[in-house]
Amino acid sequence: MTVPFLAELRQVSKIFWVEKPWIGKAKPLYALREVNLQIPKGSTVGLVGESGCGKSTLGKVLLRLTPHSTGSVLFRGEDIGSLSSRQMRGLRRHMQMIFQDPYSSLHPKRTLRQNLQEPFIIHNETDQMQEKIRELMSDVGLDPDLLDGYPHELSGGQCQRICIARAVSLRPDFIVADESVSALDVSIRGQILQLFLELKKKYQLTYLFISHDLAVIETVSDFVAVMYLGQIVEWTSASQLFANPFHPYTQLLLEAIPIPVFRPDRRKRHHSIEAELPDPVRLPPGCPFAARCSKVKPHCLEKVPELRNLGTPETPHYVACHEAS
């Protein structure tokens, strides 16, 4: 059987139950709402969206690091929601996550060598482990002499390289990189992005690349999904998205990027960014973005827009907006 997608979400929702103070009754917080997402093997899918919209949750649900509430999560065509924890352990090595803060992802009191040995030991693959670790160090562009030092001795960029080495150590197929370069400065960010691209080629990886930074997403992605308040509101190829964004939220994101040029009217621009806060507990009945949208029409407040293909069957461009055309 051929499996077109390495990982896939079908109508997946994730609810966190949160307490309302005083009343004490738990209320559902929709971190993900009926999300459909397909990750083709060998591709890099970029995921952007506002802080708190559910990006990290989506990444963790895909790897079953957190259980989803409804819908199904597929990996290599198999529904992983129903696997036992033993079966899941077997799959784990094929899927890895890299986080934003490299220091807190490593064990601070262990040497880098010990940190890198851990996955091999857990999965009982200690054959030629030291050689493999040396090779990993060279893969991520670090001097193996660093191995007996500790994480705090490294710069942020070096530390992220170690986290990347650890993530690829068992030759996974799929990596979710969650804001993996946002804590780094521009110069180093470019180098780490380059490393991600090299490793992708070398190990035939598939990435879900989560970032709030559109320049990063544009650099690495083949496809981009834009999220807002737990829903995917736009989905297409990276080139199409940046050349021709359809959703008003995507357009706003692109317009709000601060430009490194001095403009005398710079202060005025920001007074126009006034917006109601999106509330994941009391979801609006209509479009999640309606409260902030400049193109809002009465029907936007009533009906949730579905993703529609405004592109062609060959180069699809899905948008969840009643007004986009």
Ligand X SMILES: Nc1ncnc2c1ncn2[C@@H]1O[C@H](COP(=O)(O)OP(=O)(O)OP(=O)(O)O)[C@@H](O)[C@H]1O
Among the listed residues 51, 82, 124, 187, the single contact to ligand X using CB under 6 A: 51
> Shortest gap between Cβ of 51 and Mg ion (angstroms)?
7
Stretch that binds ligand X, among 4-12, 51-59, 112-120, 256-264 (CB under 6 A): 51-59
- Beta-strand ranges (E) seen in 164-242 are 174-178, 206-210, 223-228, 231-237
53 vs 175, which CB is nearer to ligand X? Answer: 53
C-alpha to C-alpha distance for 49 and 52, rounded to whole angstroms:
8
> Shortest gap between Cβ of 325 and ligand X (angstroms)?
28
Stretch that binds other proteins, among 66-74, 87-95, 127-135, 187-195 (CB under 8 A): 187-195
Closest CA to 292 of 271, 302, 278: 278
62 vs 140, which CB is nearer to ligand X? Answer: 62
260 binds, among other proteins, Mg ion, ligand X, none (CB under 5 to 8 A by kind): other proteins
150 contacts ligand X (rule: CB under 6 A): no
120 vs 209, which CB is nearer to ligand X? Answer: 209
Bridge-partner residues for 91, per DSSP?
A: none
> Shortest gap between Cβ of 245 and Mg ion (angstroms)?
22
Closest CA to 6 of 54, 49, 44, 58: 44
Q: To 10 degrees, what angle do helices 129-139 and 112-122 make?
A: 120
150 binds, among other proteins, Mg ion, ligand X, none (CB under 5 to 8 A by kind): none
Closest CA to 245 of 163, 200, 311: 311
Closest CA to 189 of 169, 166, 168, 209: 209
Count of CB atoms situated within 10 Å of the CB of 152:
10
168 vs 241, which CB is nearer to other proteins? Answer: 241
Q: Which residues in 223-242 contact other proteins (CB under 8 A)?
A: 239, 242
